[in-house]
Amino acid sequence: MIRKKYRLAARPAIPSLYDSEARKKPFSTDQTSFEAVVGTAKDEVAVASGALHKTWTKGDRRYFQYKTDAAIGGEYAILSGKYTVKESQWNNVVIRMYYHPDHAQNIDRMLRSVKASLAYFTEQFGPYPYKHFTVVERAGFGGGATADAGIIYYGEQYSLMNPDDSKNGFDLPYYILAHEVAHQWWGLARLTPANVEGAGVLIEGLAVYAGMQVLEQQYGDGHLRQYVNYLHSSYEMPRSLATPSLLQANEAFLYYRKGGLAMYALTKYIGKEKVNGALRSLLQKRISGALPLPTTLDLFQEIQQVTPDSLHYLLHDLFKANTYWRLKTKQFDAVQTKAGHWQVTLKVQAQKLVIDSTGTEKEVPMNDWLEVGIYEEGKGLNEPLYLQMHRIRSGEQTIKVTVPRKPDRGGIDPNNLMIDLRRDDNVMGVDE
């Protein structure tokens, strides 16, 4: 039997971010210590939150004692099954994986993800608070996972996943575990936000971003790009563009998709180190009590402090406004010079729109820093001949750059850092 963790999309109407009274109330339940003695069938293993302290058999029943060594949230789960148990350790943290004996296909990669995530998040955001970490399979054909403090539950479909480990593949089980481990820092017992608009950004948006960092660390840019493409592809499905800003996000689509894309874009403009430093500062203020119930306004303030003034317009577009870009490369020409280099001429068109809550579009003046990339035949986007930021204005303009070898294609915002509803015309080839 499982008591499920809260689900963001199922919550009632969310109070305004600017409601001072609402900002005094926590998003989730208060923190508490936890201890349980669970009895189950003699041939089964019971699992609960906390470290396993003791197990014994009495008659035809088997008993397990679990206890936490630090506070957890007020929600928990108790499971029992004929599990196989794989035990490992990261530093002083005991890791236990509980799974159906016929579902072992991805257990080792999931364990690698847990260890890599604990290491990376501890380094970047601060220490993991427990001396135990549990990953347990639950009944049901789902492919998702859920986190509570010190424990992750995942569906049976994991055993059917056959991830692509190649350079440009995507290891979904590895990423999902990294995302769920990230909740040990973002949400749960560590960063409990106020129950107002944008709370899901501090829980799910930051967990998406953190998981992306672990994925990139293990597999490189190819796997990360696949996930970024997935986040963008969600925008290509028919849906209203009349949504709140990210600061006032009130639905799961914005938490997961727009939140992840905004944080990813930010790393490309100011650097991962500054972004992670801002998140670390936010979390430390929460843990110390200096920031009892954080909101997205606090997140924005931390990020703004590490962002150059020249890019504050970008923070406004990503977090404060519901902004979209329409970017297109209309012409790509390349001519070899007498010196043996190649002169590239790009004609691009750019437009920036803000869409209000009624769906009304308003074009706003654009003078943004955007990437311009040039690529040679047979090379991917992670191996550019040229990749630099250029000032791009509203309307049509021409860009000229010189590259050392014969180019095959190029364009504007090739890595899709901005939210552009049509991405297939950002880059074009010489003969198109």
Please list the residues that pair with 332 across neighbouring strands. Answer: 346
Q: Is 3 part of any domain?
A: no
Are 341 and 425 members of one domain? yes
Are 145 and 214 members of one domain? yes
Residue where a domain terminates, one of 282, 302, 318: 318
Are 83 and 160 members of one domain? yes
272 lies in which domain range?
Answer: 8-318
Q: Is 406 part of any domain?
A: yes
Q: Judging by DSSP bridges, how do beta strands 51-58 and 61-67 pair with one another?
A: antiparallel
Residue where a domain terminates, one of 275, 300, 318: 318
pLDDT in the model for residue 28: 65
pLDDT in the model for residue 167: 86
Q: Is 18 part of any domain?
A: yes
Confidence of residue 3 (pLDDT cuts 50, 70, 90): very low
Helix, coil or strand: residue 205: helix
Are 15 and 153 members of one domain? yes
The full length of the chain comes to 432
Tokens for 424, please give them: 């297939």
Helix (H) or strand (E) holding 403: strand 395-403
Residues 6+ apart with CB under 8 A from 406: 334, 336, 342, 376, 377
Inform me whether the pLDDT recorded for 432 exceeds 70: no
Are 120 and 150 members of one domain? yes
Q: Is 163 part of any domain?
A: yes
Beta strand ranges found along 6-50 (DSSP E): 35-41, 45-48
- Fill in the amino acid letter for 188: L
The residue behind tokens 């347990």 is: 136
Are 304 and 220 members of one domain? yes
Inform me whether the pLDDT recorded for 195 exceeds 70: yes
Separation CA 386–CA 156 (nearest Å): 45
Separation CA 139–CA 157 (nearest Å): 10
Are 184 and 209 members of one domain? yes
Q: Is 237 part of any domain?
A: yes
Residues 6+ apart with CB under 8 A from 123: none
- The predicted model gives 99-108 an average pLDDT of 94
Q: Is 2 part of any domain?
A: no
CATH at residue 61: 1.10.390.10
Are 218 and 346 members of one domain? no
Inform me whether the pLDDT recorded for 190 exceeds 90: no
Residue where a domain terminates, one of 318, 337, 353: 318
**By percentage, how much of the chain surpasses pLDDT 90?**
74
CATH at residue 340: 2.60.40
Q: What does the pLDDT look like over 388-407, one tens digit per residue?
A: 999 999 999 999 999 999 99
Are 278 and 392 members of one domain? no
Separation CA 228–CA 390 (nearest Å): 22
Q: Is the pTM of this model over 0.85?
A: yes
Report the greatest alpha carbon distance in the chain: 90
Please list the residues that pair with 352 across neighbouring strands. Answer: 325, 364
Are 133 and 270 members of one domain? yes
Helix axes 206-219, 221-233, angle to 10 degrees: 150
Q: Is 394 part of any domain?
A: yes
Confidence of residue 151 (pLDDT cuts 50, 70, 90): very high
Asked whether 297 and 392 are in contact (CB, 8 A), the reply is: no
Inform me whether the pLDDT recorded for 6 exceeds 50: no
Q: How many domains does the chain have?
A: 2
Are 304 and 342 members of one domain? no
Confidence of residue 29 (pLDDT cuts 50, 70, 90): low
Q: Is 1 part of any domain?
A: no
Separation CA 183–CA 72 (nearest Å): 12
Q: What does the pLDDT look like over 292-303, one tens digit per residue?
A: 899 999 999 999
Are 30 and 128 members of one domain? yes
**Edge-to-edge, what's the strand order for the sheet holding 51-58?**
35-41, 61-67, 51-58
Q: What does the pLDDT look like over 219-241, one tens digit per residue?
A: 999 999 999 999 999 887 777 88
